[in-house]
Amino acid sequence: MLKDLLKILSSTPEKIRREIRDLSPKQMKTPPAPEKWSVQLILAHLLDVEENCMLPRARAMVEEERPAFAPFDQEARVGPMRYDRQDPRRTLARFIRQRQATLRWLRNLRPADLQRTGRHAEVGEISVENLLSEWAFHDLGHLRQILEVKRYGLFPRLGNLKAYYRLS
């Protein structure tokens, strides 16, 4: 189980790097639709979650007895954390460095550590294993978002073939 989760978490940075390699700064800052996030916001969010949510929560559960966690309101953090002012390539570089450090810590977890728990204010008891599963799920969701940004960028160039697709 841990091995599968670590595989996803360790592959995310390279997958992101590969997908955004050829995007221009303008493409990274442009959301695919009015209420969707741009690549720039996605990268800033991933770094924020890595540094301020997932890793601190995992550590707390391993090191403390049933710590309590407040909800992490990702939408509310966009403005105060200045996601829109972060350079996407620098943010990715910071995310990669942080993820490498995170993985070094995660690889030292013992099976018993995965069963340690904390109490989330909205959903109740969660284990380290639950959190790591969410973390991998979260990564995959944002990879999908990045692909969606790229896909939406192609849509205007489809001409009459747009009739075969509906953007949502």
pLDDT, averaged in runs of 10, over the chain (168 residues): 94 97 94 91 96 96 97 79 88 97 97 97 98 98 95 92 87
**124-127: strand order across its sheet:** 68-69, 117-120, 124-127
Verdict on whether the full-model pTM lies above 0.85: yes
pLDDT of residue 44: 95
pLDDT of residue 136: 98
DSSP state of 80: T
pLDDT of residue 57: 98
Backbone angles phi, psi at 126, to 5 degrees: -135, 150
Q: Which of 24, 123, 35 is nearest to 72 (CA)?
A: 123
pLDDT of residue 108: 97
State how far the Cα of 19 lies from the Cα of 101, in Å rounded to an integer: 22
Write down the H helix ranges in 30-126: 39-49, 55-63, 74-77, 88-106, 111-114
Angle between helical axes of 55-63 and 128-154 (0-180°, round to 10): 170
Given this structure, which CATH class describes domain 2-164? Answer: mainly alpha
DSSP state of 52: I
Which H/E stretch holds residue 69? strand 68-69
pLDDT of residue 81: 75
What is the residue type of 157?
R
